[in-house]
Chain A
Amino acid sequence: MAAGHSHGIEIDAFAGLDSPIHRWDGRFKIAGLLGLIVAFASVQTIRSLPFLILITVTIYALSHLPWHILRHRLAIPGLVVSALVIFLPFISGETVLFSAGPIQIRQEGLFLALLIAGRLFCIVTLAFVMFGTDTFVRTIHALRALKFPDIMADMVILTYRYLFEISAFFAQMQTAARLRGFQGNTFSMSNIGTLASLIGHLFIRSYEKSERVYKAMVLRGYGYQAVRQDLFAATRDDVLKTAVCLLIAILLIASDYLI
């Protein structure tokens, strides 16, 4: 769970734009786009890939999200997947497309690599549309409305709230240790011990804080009664957009498996 703390707020940065996707009711948007994502991840043939890409690019264009941010979001998963699929064209399949000395490029392996890369691109892009067109908090409210368990939703919100604070505190602790001569970048038993104390202290501080936060929450009525959340009101347009997405999703799977 490596955290890149600096760009934590980025996900809220484009929530204020206006587009057909931004105007889509949060609950229906998640249902529709998640339906497409499930269909994308289920596609098994290379024939379906152009459709996936066409649908994805259309939706991304509709969302008015900037293209350069997408490149940023794709960088890390793209790297991981490339490392995993790069060898497939050389070792998998019967049909040799191209050979140079001992090296052969085979069709089946190449297609599989392309399929995996294509699915990744489309799913990551749609996921960014799903989460990037609303604020983080409203996304969680929408998930709650879609029956995501209350305890888990409360935990997500609290974790998100204190993530940056705990990370800033840990950075301070590391600095303080360094100023007193701790050099964490060499291997030794005593360094591992120091690191364990640093992180142990971080856990204790976080634990103590959680006890104070719990008191503050209880004082303002946490868990006292179910809170009415009437944040969403869907229109016929919202339902229509979701219906279109789900229809495309069903057609994609049907054509991929049956034809």
Chain B
Amino acid sequence: MNALTITNLQFAYPETKVLQNINLMIEQGEHIGVIGPNGVGKTTLFHTICGILKPTGGGVELFGQPIKTGQFHPEVGLVFQYPDDQLFSPSVWDDVLFGPLNMGLDRQQAEAQTELALQETGMIQFKDRAPHHLSGGQKRMIAIAGVRAMQPKVVLYDEPSANLDIRSRRQLINFIKSSPETVLVSSHDLELILEVSQRIILIDDGQIIVDGNPADIMSDDALMEAHGLERPHSLKPHVHT
């Protein structure tokens, strides 16, 4: 069974069309990179997938079940572009615990999942800290822990490497790479996309332009340039003169 099935998805504001005719099937455990210039609907796509925006047409199914806007879907998690938007509790522990408690788990179970998520992200030593006292990289990993603690089957990452230093970025890449869940990553960091995804989709103007093998797509200079992108450095032939 597919983890995600997106059929004829549309999203429009009264004046502008943001997403048009998005069709996508994603298998369980697949890691997918989503690339494209700014403002073409990547974030909107993520928001409709997890049910915080109501599509104006078509729909999203998660393991065969339709996603209903406005309902709580702990099976799909979204890691926000700005971790400060997500870390709204006064302590790291409370923040990661927030989702599991809302799932109606008893306290012991919720705390066990919180502990596990903080272990997996390597953030357990910060559990009593206040989120606003952490570095950008730490905030990012804790935002991820907050999603992971709900044990979702699909995780969406929106620009996860924005504002990260080299070491935090490396930690993040390794983490996503080894994640067992179905993953969608939207990013301008094409090197990161190349490392974590088995398949990429290129979105421009609200439509899927191409869907396929990361190295093949990103090596196509004409295609990349036509959509405001650049072939990543690691895919350039190294010529020594």
Chains A and B in contact, CB within 8 Å: yes
Q: Which A residues have a C-beta under 8 Å from some C-beta of B?
A: 9, 136-137, 157-158, 160-162, 164-165, 209, 212-213, 215-222, 224-225, 227-228, 230
Measured in the bound complex, the distance between the Cα atoms of B51 and A223 in whole Å is 15
Measured in the bound complex, the distance between the Cα atoms of B82 and A158 in whole Å is 17
Q: Are A137 and B52 in contact (CB under 8 A)?
A: no
A137 neighbours in B (Cβ, 8 Å): 90-91, 94
| CB of A238 to closest CB in B, whole Å | 20
Q: Which residue of B lies closest to A208 (CB)?
A: B85
B146 neighbours in A (Cβ, 8 Å): 220
| CB of A8 to closest CB in B, whole Å | 10
Q: Are A219 and B78 in contact (CB under 8 A)?
A: yes
Measured in the bound complex, the distance between the Cα atoms of B130 and A164 in whole Å is 11
Q: Are A221 and B103 in contact (CB under 8 A)?
A: yes
Known contacts A213-B88, A221-B74: does B101 contact A227 (CB below 8 Å)?
yes
Q: Are B50 and A225 in contact (CB under 8 A)?
A: no
| CB of B81 to closest CB in A, whole Å | 9
Q: Are B52 and A217 in contact (CB under 8 A)?
A: no
Measured in the bound complex, the distance between the Cα atoms of B43 and A212 in whole Å is 12
| CB of A156 to closest CB in B, whole Å | 10
Q: Which B residues have a C-beta under 8 Å from some C-beta of A?
A: 47, 50-52, 70, 72, 74, 77-78, 80, 82, 84-86, 88-91, 94, 98-99, 101-104, 106-107, 130-132, 146-147, 150
Measured in the bound complex, the distance between the Cα atoms of B175 and A170 in whole Å is 35
Measured in the bound complex, the distance between the Cα atoms of B52 and A158 in whole Å is 21
Q: Are B85 and A212 in contact (CB under 8 A)?
A: yes
Measured in the bound complex, the distance between the Cα atoms of B103 and A224 in whole Å is 8
Q: Chain B CB within 10 Å — which of A220, A225, A230 has the most?
A: A220
Q: Which residue of A lies closest to B156 (CB)?
A: A219
Known contacts A137-B94, A215-B47, A219-B52: does B88 contact A161 (CB below 8 Å)?
yes
Q: Are B99 and A221 in contact (CB under 8 A)?
A: yes
Q: Are B107 and A230 in contact (CB under 8 A)?
A: yes
Which residue in A158, A160, A216 is a CB contact (below 8 Å) of B85? Answer: A216
Measured in the bound complex, the distance between the Cα atoms of B107 and A227 in whole Å is 10
Known contacts A221-B102, A227-B102: does B94 contact A216 (CB below 8 Å)?
no
Sorted nearest first, the 7 A-B pairs with minimum C-beta distance are: A221-B102, A220-B99, A212-B85, A224-B72, A216-B86, A221-B72, A227-B101
Which residue in B88, B104, B147 is a CB contact (below 8 Å) of A158? Answer: B88
Q: Are B88 and A216 in contact (CB under 8 A)?
A: yes
Sampled A-B contacts (15; CB under 8 Å): A9-B130, A137-B91, A137-B94, A161-B90, A165-B84, A212-B80, A212-B82, A215-B52, A216-B86, A218-B70, A219-B51, A220-B102, A221-B150, A227-B101, A228-B106
